[in-house]
């Protein structure tokens, strides 16, 4: 599939295919809410956000932002591979209908 990859304002990979964009974001989330660096069992986890192009503006889709089990220190190559998988999974629904809640929920379990 044709898509472009770039580094977003979080310093993390993002992917665009035509009118759909998916970004990795780091909001300091952990296993039980906010990441706790003093807890040796907690990890700083990444979230993905899904956008659809509306005219010239990217708009977040409803129910398109989910925390994952992917750690912030995951190599960019693997993060890009995950984004490619996400895009292949949700592109048609987001591109055509602007939503993909159940698909996005299922992708949030990735680790």
Q: Does residue 29 register a pLDDT over 70?
A: yes
Q: Does residue 1 register a pLDDT over 70?
A: no
Q: How far apart are the first and last CA of the chain?
A: 23
Q: pTM of the entire structure?
A: 0.94
**pLDDT tens figures, 53-93:** 999 999 999 999 999 999 999 999 999 999 999 999 999 99
CB atoms within 10 A of CB 7: 11
CB atoms within 10 A of CB 82: 22
- Of all residues in the chain, the percent with pLDDT exceeding 70 is 99
Q: What is the mean pLDDT of residues 103-107?
A: 93
Contact 24, 14 (CB under 8 A): yes
């Amino acid at each position: 599939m044709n898509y472009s990859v770039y580094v977003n304002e979080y310093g993390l990979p993002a992917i665009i295919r035509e009118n759909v964009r998916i970004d990795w974001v780091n909001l300091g989330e952990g296993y039980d809410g906010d990441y706790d660096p003093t807890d040796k069992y907690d990890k700083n986890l990444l979230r993905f956000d899904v956008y659809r192009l509306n005219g010239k503006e990217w708009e977040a889709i409803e129910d398109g932002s989910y925390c994952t089990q992917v750690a912030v220190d995951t190599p960019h190559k693997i993060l890009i591979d995950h984004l490619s998988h996400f895009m292949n999974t949700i592109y048609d629904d987001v591109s055509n209908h602007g939503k993909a809640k159940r698909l996005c929920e299922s992708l949030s379990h990735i680790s």
